Structures are given as C-alpha cells and as structure tokens.
Structure 1
Amino acid sequence: MRRLRDLWLGAHRWFALSLGWVLGLMGLTGALLVIAPPLDEQLHPQLFKVVTHDASGIADHRATLPLEAIRSRLGAEFGKKAGLSFLPPREADDSLSVLVRGGAWKGTVYIDPLSGAELGRRGENEGIVNFLFKLHSSLFMDDVGRSVLAVIALCYLLLLVTGLILWWPRAGQSGWRIELRKGLVRSLFDLHRVAGATLGVLIAISVATGVYMAWQPLRGFVTTLSGDKPMRAPALPLASRGAAGARLPLDTLVDAARAEFPQSRVYLVQVPAKADLPVHVRLHVPDDPHPNGRTLVWVDPVTGKVLAAQRWNKLDIGARAVAVVYPLHTGVLGGPVLEGVVMVNGVTLAGMAVTGLWLWWRRRAMRSARRVSRVAAGDGRNVR
C-alpha cells in the first residue's frame, strides 16, 4: 500500500512541477478577466462611452450614423485585405467598436456612433484586457497555444484525481483539518490539500469549459459523437462572387438578418475581406443564455438574400453547447455570485500552484540539510 501511495505522490508531483505553473497562470489570468473589462471601461471612458447630453443636460437625439459610412471609411484606410467586425453599442452612451483583422494592422477602433468621430484605437495586444485574454486563451500562440492548453487541461484532471487519492483520509484522521500553529510548511501543506479537495471539482468545471470554448476540434467531436452534422457557413453564390463591387449598403444587409428574428439584438456584424464569403451577422434573441448571442445569419452582400439563418437552440449540439458553456465559464450565467465563484476558483488554482512548488522546494531543501547534517555528524565520529 505504501508503494502505491508513493506512486500516486510521484505522479502528482511530476505533473504539478512540469505543468502546474501554466495552470496557475491560467487560473490567475481567468480571475483577473472577471474584473478587468469593467475596470478598463472605468479607467478609459473616452474609448467606451460617448457624450449623449450637452452642457445643459439636454439629450442628443441625433440618429446613429449608417454602418456603411463607417465601413467605407475604414475600408479605404485599411485596404481590401482587412476584415471588419462591427460591435454596435448596447446602451445609448456606448461607443461602436470595430475589430480590424487580416491587414497590415490588427486591433480595435472605437467610434462615436452619433458623429462618426474616432475615439481611439488599440492594437490586438494593447491594453490589459487584450493582454490577459491572449495569454489566458492561447498563451499568445493562437491555435497552437489552444491545443497546448487542451493537453494541459487533461493533465489537471490527472492532478485532481491523484490529489484526491493522496488527500483521502485514512482511519482515525481528518482530511479537513488545517493546522496553523505548527509552522509555515505544515500550514501551507494543509491549506494546499484542503483547498484542492474542496474546490478541485469546481476548478475542473472552469478548466473543462475553457477548453471547450478555445479548442474547436472538441466541439466537432461532440457533434460527431451525437450523430449530428457540424454547422457550416454557406458559400456565396457564383453570381455574387463575380459582382463583389456591387455590394449593398451594410445597413440593408443587417436589416435583412434582423428580419429573420425581429426581436433580436445585433451583437456582431462581420464583413470578411474575401469577396467569396457572405456577411455574417450574430444576433441575441431573448431566450439565449449566451450574453452575446449565438443566433447566426449569413447574408449575400450583393443581393441581400439570407443564405442561412440558424437560431441558437437549432445549431448542432457541439455549437449549441457554447451558449451555456461560455456564460458558465465566465460566471455571467449566475450573475455576481457565480462570477465570485469563478474568481475564487482562479485564485485558488494559482495559489495551489505556488504553494505546491514552494512545498516541494522547501522539503527538498530540508532533506538536503538533514543529509549534510548526518554526513557532518559521521565525520565527527570518525575524527574522534
């Protein structure tokens, strides 16, 4: 039995020392991402908010500018190779965000939707939120980083299982006792094992949901396993590909998409750089648990015809699950309470990585000191 326990302990330490620091980093960045976006908006209101009242408090009743006017201006600046994704304001005083991808510059441009004036811009890695998100979701390695994180998430499950086996109380012992009066090493050891046993499963949910969102092949696997067919974006008709210069105004295309789901709110309007792709509009319908919506519409930019429209609860099961997985991972699904749980999970995971590493180093140093002491004592006896 002792040999088996040593085997579990060795496996737990090996996984923790080799990959635990990455898990801790993911936990810490995930916790920070809960509070970073609202804090960023508070610190940089000039990017996210617009003035909707004059000095006397009279409301500005001007209509928002057409998206087509903004698209034309940004298209002329960034060129034909750049794809543009528009995030319309949710509130009356919100700015319009435009994500620029595929050209010489990648980032976000913030625009006053009433006047069309540019409020500022950020590169894709500029700003604390962008930095944390890129680090948390892909380690700054895009698809390769997401695959690496998926493998590391599997290792967390092995850490959880081996940790629970090592924690499991033996006869006459309590697995929940935290002794704070027997030195720092004992205190951290008890905190490490009790925190892992208490929150390990909740942390596993956060890890698993994060991998599900970040790693696309997993969604496809779930869909295939269920016997369903993965969702595919429709192809643009050949006639429209040859008439790419005769595009309809972007606002007309958005209206066509919204007509499919009249009670929806527009979250994203994606204008691809490639002329052979349709305009993609992402909508939020009232019963969608995803805060950004997962109802998808593709529109022919030349004819204005809707090529495909899929409500969030009619998507293939792998894609449909994202509507619940994303708000569960971020905590939005449960409001401030669940967001608090997500933060605690992240901080705990980071704390377990730090305490585990410190405990391993400290005990190794103590064993080395004892060996040196025994050798010195033996030398002394030999001298006498």
Structure 2
Amino acid sequence: MKLLSWLHRWTGGIVGILLALIGLSGTVLLWEESWIMLPGADQPVVADPAALGETIAAARKAGPGLSRITFASDEIGLHQVIYADGTGAYLNQDGVLVERWASMWDRPELWLFDLHHYLFMGEAGKIITGFLGILLLGFCITGLLLWWRTRTTYRFRIWPARFTRSAIVRHHRDLGAVASPLLILAAFTGAMMVFPSISAWLLSPVTEEQIAPPLPEHLEPPDEQTNWPLVMARAQAAFPSAVPRRLMMPAAEGAPLALRLKQDFEWTPNGRTYVWIDPRTVHVVGVQDPATSDIASALTEKYYPVHAAKVGGIGWRLFMSFAGLALAMLGLFASWSFWAGRGRAPRRSRS
C-alpha cells in the first residue's frame, strides 16, 4: 500500500492542474446553451427542408468556402457555420447573420472546447487528454483502495474544513470516494473517444464486419446552381422520421455531399445516420443506417452523449457537473498540497 500511495500522490501532484482544467472546462461546456446569449439562441427549431436549404445558400454567401453547417437544435436555436479558412458564423433560422468570428478566440465556447479536448495543442494535446483519462481511471481505482483503509473516518465535505495540508488530504480522500463512480465513467468514455483502437479491442466480442457503402468519386462540385432545398428534401425522404443535423461539403474532389441525421433511437446529438448526395443531380448515392449496425457500434455511439450529458435530462447533467467540479477541486488541491508540503524542513524543538 505504501508504493500505491506514493504513486497516487506523486502522479496526482504532477498532473493535477491539467485534470482540474479539463474538469472545469468540461463543466462549463455542459451548460453552454445557457450562456450563449446571442439573438435567436432560444428560437424554436424549424426543420423544414425548404427553410434549411435557404439557410445553406445564405451561409455560402456569408463567407468563403463553406465547410460544414450544423443546424439549430433544441439546445441552441442557431445554425453554426464553419468555413474552409477556419472562420465561422452563427445564423438564425431565417438565414440572417448573427455573429461572425475570425478565430476560436472570438467565441468562448470554441476555445473552451479546444482546451477541454486538445489543451490548445492540436492532435498532440488530444493524445495527452486521452492519457489523462486513463490516468484518472487509475487514480479512481487506487484512491478507492487507499480510502477503504480509513473508511470509518469518512466525512463528506464539498469544501475542506481548513486550508491545512492534513485537512485537504482528508477532503481529497472523502470527496474522491464519492465522485469516483462518475469520474470512472467520464474518464472511460473520454479515453475511448480518443483511443478508438482500444475501444475496438474491448468490444471485439460483439463486433461484426461492417461494409461501407460504395460512393462515386468523380462528381461535379456544388455550385451556384445546386438546389439546396431539394438536397435537404431528398435527404429527409431517405429517413422521413429523422432530424437533419449537419451538412458537410465534399471532403475531397469528386466526392458527394454528406448529410448527418438523427433518428429517434440515437443518443448522439448530431446522429450517425448518413445520406450522401450528388450535388449536381441531387440524387442520393449512398446511405448508412445505424439501425443495421452491430452492438459495438451501438455502444461506441453512447460514449459522447453520456460523457457530455447530452442524454438523461437535467438530472444527469447535474451529476456530471458535480463530477467535473469534483475533478477540478481534487486536481487543484492535490497539486497544491503536494507541492506546498514539499521542501519544508521539520521543526526542531528547542533544548
């Protein structure tokens, strides 16, 4: 147990600040629809294909090289538009420009997202956050083992009784024991999203071979003649009960348009139902229906909505908010108590 305690203490002291940043930024992002107070953010959703088609045409005129548009949802009643040069905009559901940004630093929800997922370091930061998730799993397991020896002295406190090293250690131990089940779930789902190969290995017993639909490779790109209302109508006709969530422009030259839709049984906010459309003829050239996928795909689809509290209503969001704030306190106080307590010479009694 001494070695376990030493590893837990030293590793936590080193990465505690990073875990605190991830926990705090994630908690704020859970409630982003409450503080994005732009005009039209609370507008009821209109999923009419004709209206969405007009919005796409307006988004193409509002900036250079439309990359994708995420349609308004019950959370945020604005369309989010991303352009090829990295700029973006919010449009209301009448297609009117509400907000433009030149970089992520112009919008708090964008740089908070980047902080939480990438630590402002791109793909390298994403790998680091994945390893931090795995470390958090280790912290929760070892912390519970260490707490078990002192469980009879358990006393739950949101805040340390005093700002002394011993009081902070006791607070860390008892708060961690309460938050560990939620933190294990958050850490596991987060790490699996970063490391899909690990998820695939774990779920290999319930994985079946999936054949991707063949897509044409020599299509004409969308232009001013593209009938966007008809594009949306054809996509909707492929899955009449689904809700259109995102339009993605061709990823490569000659590729089709891709539309993501969300069916009732899907948890992912933007859905994993795909419809591919030839932008010139507006014919559907491929579909992907998650209703026909295997158990592994159905489980991996749950990672993000559980992690980001996109399901479960206000109750689950409160639980995950508690987990995020607990992680922030655990990380900050662990680093503070570890480094503040080091290097102090023991007091000598006067003789």
User: 1:22 aligns to what SS in structure 2?
Assistant: helix
Contact 2:274–2:288 at 8 Å: present in 1 too? yes
> Is 2:140 aligned against 1:157?
no
Matched, 1:174 2:152: yes
Hey, what does 1:88 align to over in structure 2? 71
Residue aligning to 1:120:
99
Displacement of 1:134 in angstroms is 0.5
One-letter amino acid of the structure 1 residue matched with residue 3 of structure 2: L
Q: Report the residue type matching 2:331 in the other structure.
A: A
| Amino acid paired to 2:39 | P
Structure 1 residue 369 corresponds to structure 2 residue 346: yes
Equivalent residue for 1:45, pick from 39, 44, 47: 39
Match of 1:301 in 2: 279
Check conservation: 2:53, 2:231, Cα contact below 8 A: no
Aligned to 1:204: 184
Aligned positions of 1:1-384 closer than 5 A? 5-40=1-36, 42=37, 44-45=38-39, 48=41, 66-67=54-55, 69-70=57-58, 72-74=60-62, 77-78=63-64, 82-90=65-73, 94-100=77-83, 102=84, 105-114=85-94, 116-125=95-104, 126-169=106-149, 174-177=152-155, 184-221=164-201, 226-229=206-209, 232=212, 234-238=214-218, 240=219, 248-272=226-250, 274-366=252-344, 368-370=345-347, 373=348
What does the per-residue CA deviation read over 1:127-169, in whole Å, with 9 as the maximum and x for residues that have no partner? 1111111100111223222222111211122222222222122
8 Å contact kept, 2:267–2:311: yes
Quote how far apart the aligned CAs of 1:279 are.
0.8
Structure 1 residue 202: deviation in Å?
1.3
Larger of the two Rg values belongs to structure: 1
Cα contact 2:207–2:295 (8 A) shared by 1: no
AA in 2 matched with 1:120 = E
TM-score, normalised on structure 2?
Answer: 0.84
State the superposition RMSD in angstroms.
Answer: 3.2
Secondary structure, in 3 states, of the residue corresponding to 1:235? coil
Percent identical across equivalent pairs? 23
Give the Cα separation in 1 of the matches to 2:237 and 2:60: 24
Match of 1:369, as an amino acid?
P
Query: 3-state DSSP class of the match of 2:301?
Result: helix
C-alpha contact 1:246 1:302 (8 A) present in aligned 2: no
Relative contact order (alpha carbons < 8 A, sep ≥ 6): 1 or 2 greater?
A: 2
Deviations 1:228-279 (A, max 9, x none): 23574743243x25x7769742322222221111111111111135332211
1:197-232 CA-partner distances (Å, limit 9, x unpaired): 121121110111122334444455456564423574
1:73 alignment partner AA: K
Greater percentage in helix: 1
Q: 2:322 & 2:310 partners in 1: Cα distance?
A: 15
Once residues 120 and 182 of structure 1 are traced to their aligned partners in structure 2, the CA distance between those partners, rounded to angstroms, is: 46
Asked if 2 retains the 8 angstrom alpha-carbon contact of 1:27 and 1:350, the reply is yes
Deviation per CA, 1:58-108: give whole Å up to 9, x if none: xxxx9676245325524xx51xxx4421223347x94433222x3xx3132
Question: Which runs of no fewer than 5 residues in structure 2 stay unpaired?
Answer: none
CA distance in 1, matches of 2:138, 2:44: 52
Counterpart in 2 of 1:58?
A: none
Are the counterparts in 1 of residues 263 and 273 from structure 2 also a CA contact under 8 Å? yes
CA offset digits 1:305-352 (Å, max 9, x no partner): 323222233335454334322221122321111101111101111101
Q: How far did 1:18 drift? A: 2.2
Q: Secondary structure at the match of 2:312?
A: helix
- Give the whole-Å Cα distance in 2 for the aligned partners of 1:286 and 1:181: 47
Per-residue Cα deviation, 1:348-381 (whole angstroms, up to 9, x for no partner): 1110112212222343355x133xx36xx5xxx7
Residues 345 and 256 from structure 1, CA distance in 2 versus in 1: closer, same or farther, beyond 3 angstroms?
same
Tell me: CA distance 1:313–1:218, structure 2 relative to 1, closer, same or farther (3 Å).
farther
